[in-house]
Structure 1
Amino acid sequence: MLRAAIGQIEARGVAAVRIADVAAALGVSNALVLYHFSTKEKLVAEAFAFAAEDDLARLRKLLGRRTSALRRLRAAVRWYAPTGQAKGWRLWIEGWAVALREPGLREVTQHLDRQWKAALAEVIAEGVAAGEFHCPDAMDAALRLTALLDGLAVQMTAYPGAVSRARTRAWVDEALARELGLDREALTSPPG
């Protein structure tokens, strides 16, 4: 049901999606969907939580690799960036907008946001401890990086063509290098 809800949210938007749309996509009755999720708001919040767990699992996999902190961080940031393989930016932008008015969804999006920042900060701190790079405050760096990535995603999703993919990738690389006290070339060089 949650995958069907995500599909309907992506197709129609959070505001327009109805219980009946999800039920029709599954070929079940509205009552069955309502049995599991008593309101549309609960269904939407659970669907976002489900999507968030998928994204977090991918992030954990990237950050859990047995390689340098720089390589893990670079892979995670490039995957998450709107030029990477991460899907669903439209879904998350919709979710953020609705979260302004829906406390249940706000909880879900805040929880995801905190976990993303904490995971990135942890790898940044590991890299600092290993002497791979320098960063005075790992959590602040994670906040600035995710703010940039989220903002670029809004620009690229809401205003196609406003920022090119190449320019976005260059800005992301520049920001990551700056946060880590590295030259941009260090992001593409093999570890020494």
Structure 2
Amino acid sequence: MTIDRRAAILAAAADLIREKGVAAVRTRDVTARAGVGIGLLNHYFKWNELRALAAAQALWAEIDRVVPDAPAPDRQLDVFLSRAFGEDADPLWRLWIEVTDLAMSDPDMARAAEGCAEGMVNELAAILEQGAAGHLWHCPVPHAAALRILAFHDGLVGFVLTGLPKVERADAAAHLKRFVALELGLPQQNDHVPSRLV
């Protein structure tokens, strides 16, 4: 029962963060959603700890929603590339930006952000390693390749969201596909990238 109540509080906080963002969620929102009193919330968590754990849980839920598991490494990479700049990824991007901003001044959030970042790199590295082992592509150092791919992706996300410089979603997707093809020694895709952006 103790574990169930603690898990229910954490799940309620994560759901609220996905709906409203981290900064907008208050303790009273969580207690109302979880159906518990403030005393029980404080018994299981300090607020900053709960907020950070819930933000990490919310991030992983968004990642799983945007890039669901696929049966083979090449298919999983295709899913990542095809959905990386879809509008349904916007909640994930905005949540990640908020979490990393808060991490600058909140040690609990910093640990949560670091864990999520490492997890994302490790998940992509595992996909790249499986594909290399199956001779789908060439990738001698999967972890380093995953780090470069995600850094390139995140930079393009910044351009798409801010418009500084202006990059359309389709162009960002084409850039990412081309970068991944170069990284993995794959044939170049015929995706159009405007000459002004090459």
- Report the TM-score when normalising by structure 1: 0.75
CA contact (8 A) 2:128 2:139 kept: yes
1:62 to 60, 69, 78: 69
The answer for the alignment partner of 1:19 in structure 2 is: 27
CA contact (8 A) 1:62 1:76 kept: no
Between 6-15 and 163-172, report the one with greater CA deviation. Answer: 6-15
Structure 1 portions without partners, runs of 5+ = 188-192
- 2:110 is aligned with 1:106: yes
Partners in 1 of 2:160 and 2:33 — Cα distance? 29
The answer for the alignment partner of 2:4 in structure 1 is: none
RMSD: 3.2
1:94 to 82, 98, 103: 98
Deviation at 1:143, TM superposition (A): 0.2
Deviation at 1:59, TM superposition (A): 8.6
Q: Give the secondary structure class of the aligned counterpart of 2:189.
A: helix
Structure 2 portions without partners, runs of 5+ = 1-8, 192-198
What does 1:103-182 align with in structure 2 at a 5 Å threshold? 103-159=107-163, 162-182=166-186
1:50 to 57, 61, 66: 57
Q: Give the secondary structure class of the aligned counterpart of 1:171.
A: helix
Aligned-partner residue type, residue 46 of structure 1? L
The superposition leaves residues 7-66 of structure 1 with CA deviations (integer Å, 9 ceiling, x where unpaired) of 5445654345432343355565433433332x3211211202322443565699525x1x
Number of residue-to-residue matches in the alignment: 182
Q: Give the secondary structure class of the aligned counterpart of 2:69.
A: helix
Deviation at 1:73, TM superposition (A): 1.8
The answer for the alignment partner of 1:183 in structure 2 is: 187
Partners in 2 of 1:22 and 1:156 — Cα distance? 33
Deviation at 1:121, TM superposition (A): 1.4
